Amino acid sequence: MDLRWSAEEQAFRAELRAWLADQLPSVGPKPDPQDWPARRAFDTAWQRTLFDAGYAGIHWPKEFGGRGASATEHLIYVEETERAKAPYVGTNFVGLLHAGPTIINEGTDAQRARYLPPILRGDEVWAQGFSEPDAGSDLASLRTRAVRDGDHYVVTGRKIWTSHATVADHAELLVRTDPDAPKHKGISWLILPMDAAGIEIRPLRSVMDTDEFSELYLDEVRVPVENLVGAENDGWRVTMTTLSFERGSAFIADVITTGVLVDQLAEIARKVTRRGASAWDDRGLRAEIGHLKAELEGLWAMCLRNVSEANRTGLVGVGGSVFKLRYTEARQKLGELTARVIDRAALSMHDVAGRPTGFLVEDRLHSLSMTIAAGTSQIQRTILAERALGLPKDKR
């Protein structure tokens, strides 16, 4: 075990840091979060900048246009971009982190040639069509039907929680191609062209009062058979293989962001008056902040252990679920601590009395999604119990 960066890793970091310092001043202001076309333009312009400099698809294999970075280099990349406050992956998320890796693992050469370069260049944006109103945690019970008709599938159903659907070129779509097979065995993975006839997008308003995601209504949408990725009815396995791209490196961004939030909260606590003293003089509050700092140290170390494991085995073991479980709860804890510090300033989502509290109030609300999205904490616990501890499967 060691915590030293190798000469190559240090060189990679130095080069990236210099490049970021050079590039970031010319990045324009962040677009209005409600203006999706502007968000797409901002995110894809940054992706193009990364591409031109050889940083696109940092964790993708070289033969598919990526940089082929080790899990550690990916970790350094995420650390540096997070610290430099470079633009987030944003609307490129599904393409770079999910659809692209799936096509790399399971696509044909023709599909790879058609879809991978535009993701790396920031020319095309992907959305995800997995969940359905009746298929959330129990994703494999999805019912959106795809019926073969000549050289097309005819797709009818409803998808939900589709982020940036209005500005996507394609969606990775899970459909049921064999309704008679056991639920995991009748699913296929399709590339849905978002301009096809029969797609209706209905934005959903989140608790943040933003159009964070949409519902997709699919009414006899014709999808070419050549858009099938992997074998028909093998879509469940196809989508699971994408997890093999997850090496835990991206988690470091969460640790860094949360660390900054805790520091800012402490800063505010030193300035806020409570019963004639500063809120920071409250030993109970300090104890909770101390616990949070310990948790972040643990999460940081866990993240590095996950990356170390991935460097050796190519995969993250139980560490990914453990990290998600603990990190998301820490973030929610921070939200409640925030309220204790800023007290009634928490009644506004904007800064009050010249103190920077708005973003903390916003983060408290936003953190509600963290224990739900990408597998609820309850599902994570069940997975840990069954896969890591070997407890018998329950009747789900």
Partner 1 sequence: MDLWLSDEQVALQDAVATVGKQLFSSEQVRALAATAGVDRASWSALAEIGLFSLRLPEPDGAGLGIAEAVLALEQLGRAFVPGPLVANVLAAGLVDGVADGSVIVGLLDRDEDPLLAENLDAVDVLLVLDDAGVIAVEPSALTATALPDPADPLTPVHHVTAIPGGRPLGGPELAARWRAEGAVLTAALQVGLAQRSLDGAVTYARQREQFGQPIGQFQAIKHLLADALARVEIARSAVYAAAVTIDDPDVGDVARRVSAAKLLADEAAVGNGRTGVQVHGGMGFTWEVDAHLPLRRAWVYATHFGSIDDHAELLAEMV
Contact status: 20 vs partner 1 (CB under 8 A): no
Contact status: 298 vs partner 1 (CB under 8 A): yes
Is residue 238 a contact partner of residue 107, using CB atoms and an 8 Å limit?
no
Contact status: 291 vs partner 1 (CB under 8 A): yes
Q: Which residues inside 271-290 make contact with partner 1, applying CB under 8 A?
A: 283, 286-290
**Binding region for partner 1 (CB under 8 A) out of 233-241, 333-341, 350-358, 385-393:** 385-393
Is residue 339 a contact partner of residue 346, using CB atoms and an 8 Å limit?
yes
Binding string, residues 336-375; x marks residues near partner 1 by CB under 8 A: ----------------------------------------
Q: In the complex with partner 1, which residue's Cβ is closer, 29 or 284?
A: 284
Evaluate the CA torsion angle 250, 86, 365, 212 in order and state its sign: negative
Find all residues with CB under 8 Å of 243, minimum gap 6, and list them. none
Rounded to whole angstroms, what are the CA distances from 46 to 27, 41, 92? 8, 9, 10
**Binding region for partner 1 (CB under 8 A) out of 2-10, 91-99, 191-199, 245-253:** 2-10
The CA distance from 176 to 247, in Å, is 29
The CA distance from 84 to 15, in Å, is 13
Is residue 84 a contact partner of residue 50, using CB atoms and an 8 Å limit?
no
Q: Which of 197, 312, 344, 354 binds partner 1 (CB under 8 A)?
A: 312
Q: Which residues inside 46-85 make contact with partner 1, applying CB under 8 A?
A: 72, 75
Q: Which of 79, 246, 295, 309 is catalytic?
A: 246
Q: Kindly report the number of other CB atoms within 10 A of residue 59's CB atom.
A: 23
Is residue 328 a contact partner of residue 369, using CB atoms and an 8 Å limit?
no
Contact status: 171 vs partner 1 (CB under 8 A): no
Find all residues with CB under 8 Å of 123, minimum gap 6, and list them. 44, 117
Q: Which of 56, 120, 190, 325 binds partner 1 (CB under 8 A)?
A: 325
Q: Compute the least distance from the CB of residue 280 to partner 1, in Å.
A: 9
Q: Which of 274, 305, 333, 340 binds partner 1 (CB under 8 A)?
A: 305
Contact status: 243 vs partner 1 (CB under 8 A): no
**Three-class SS state of 372:** coil
Q: In the complex with partner 1, which residue's Cβ is closer, 100 or 319?
A: 319
Contact status: 314 vs partner 1 (CB under 8 A): no
Contact status: 311 vs partner 1 (CB under 8 A): yes
Instruction: For residue 307, give the nearest of 255, 262, 384, 359 by alpha carbon.
Output: 255
The CA distance from 342 to 279, in Å, is 9
**Binding region for partner 1 (CB under 8 A) out of 55-63, 131-139, 248-256, 292-300:** 292-300
Cα 99 to its chain centre, rounded Å, is 12
Q: Which residues inside 96-135 make contact with partner 1, applying CB under 8 A?
A: none
**Binding region for partner 1 (CB under 8 A) out of 26-34, 85-93, 140-148, 260-268:** 260-268
The CA distance from 166 to 202, in Å, is 9
Q: Compute the least distance from the CB of residue 143 to partner 1, in Å.
A: 25
Mode of pairing for the β-strands spanning 170-176 and 228-229:
unpaired
Q: Compute the least distance from the CB of residue 223 to partner 1, in Å.
A: 38
Find all residues with CB under 8 Å of 390, minimum gap 6, and list them. none
Contact status: 302 vs partner 1 (CB under 8 A): yes
Q: In the complex with partner 1, which residue's Cβ is closer, 181 or 391?
A: 391
Q: What is the token pair recorded at 23?
A: 């590039």
The CA distance from 84 to 62, in Å, is 26
Q: Which of 11, 21, 373, 391 binds partner 1 (CB under 8 A)?
A: 391
132 belongs to the catalytic site: no
Q: Which of 319, 360, 361, 371 binds partner 1 (CB under 8 A)?
A: 319
Helix H or strand E encompassing 126: strand 126-129
Contact status: 386 vs partner 1 (CB under 8 A): yes
Would you please indicate which residues are annotated as catalytic (active-site) residues?
A: 246
> What residue ranges bind partner 1 (CB under 8 A)?
1-6, 9, 72, 75, 262-263, 266, 283, 286-291, 293-295, 297-302, 304-305, 307-309, 311-312, 318-319, 322, 325-326, 378, 380-382, 384-386, 388-394
